[in-house]
Amino acid sequence: MPAGREITIVEVGPRDGLQNENGVISTHDKVELIRLLAGAGLARIEATAFVSPRWVPQMADHDAVMRQAVRRDGLRLSALVPNEKGALAAIATGAQELAVFASASETFAMKNTNCTIAESIERFVPVLALAKANGLPVRGYVSCAVDCPYEGVIAPAAVAWVSEQLARIGCTEIAVADTIGRAAPERVDAMLRAVLDIMPVERLACHFHDTSSMALANVDVALNHGIRVFDSAAGGLGGCPYAPGAAGNLATGRLARHLSSLDYQHRIDLCLLDHAEQFARKLSAHTKRSPKFV
């Protein structure tokens, strides 16, 4: 278990935070948000998703966003890709990391990606091959790692199996996600124990939504397991399509300040982050959230 106090925060606001917004957010504003977040010290930013505009209209400008996004030493820009076609497009625009999206719930997988869990993982094999050929890391998300909006409670063993399969095909990092924000700390603990039985802690990240105001308590559980990589979204953008009006992703500022209070280091300038979060909230202020998401 790592003894270090250094935490990596993966900023997912430009992708996971904005993708459910129906109102038009300009490419310029998305690029500006990325610039502000990078300026605040975020070293890993999920910039966009190379998915079909038919299903996620807000990500239709993925090519322009990735090409125009700020580049600097120490900053890694990633893109979510659903398949080989998306991976090719992302690599062509200079994505520095790819992310793929699986689920621990068969029902969620079918409704969200129109295939079984096993089929979704096999769909990622050519993505991993492309990433390897281009020297890019690949993050594998496991959604519904605690609860599913259709199936309810998800068995920890199911999360461990999906995580193992993603690692098997070459994902360098596995991010287990409390997709609908219902997770209680004791159930997060059970899930993480199952996953850590088959995977080293250095390869694991956690992605918590704050729908039930339990995200920081769940972060504490993960910290106690030695996890040092956490996702968050500027301004808490993202919401939950299954809980209208509920809080969204764990806000980056809340996470950073909580970690500081526990004497963990994250290398983020909180004043500059406040400015970035204010900008993010303004982008979302006059839009409505869509029930479609990846």
First to last CA, the chain: 32
Where exactly are the structural domains of the chain?
8-284
Amino acid identity of 139?
Answer: R
Answer yes or no: is pLDDT of 231 > 50: yes
Tell me the chain's radius of gyration from C-alpha atoms.
Answer: 17
Residue 169 token pair? 């095909």
Q: Whole-model pTM?
A: 0.94
Whether 240 is a known active-site residue: answer yes
Mean pLDDT calculated for residue range 2-13? 88
Residue 228 token pair? 């040092």
| Annotated catalytic residue within 144, 171, 206, 240 | 240
pLDDT per residue as tens digits for the range 135-191: 999 999 999 999 999 999 999 999 999 999 999 999 999 999 999 999 999 999 999
Band (274; pLDDT cuts 50, 70, 90) = very high
Residue 179 token pair? 């997709």
User: CA torsion 80→181→249→3, rounded to 10°?
Assistant: -80
CATH topology of domain 8-284: TIM Barrel (3.20.20)
Alpha carbons 15 and 53: distance in angstroms, whole number? 13
Handedness of CA 102, 106, 108, 113 (dihedral sign): positive
Using a 10 angstrom Cβ sphere, with 0-12 exposed, 13-18 middle and 19 or more buried, the burial of residue 288 is exposed
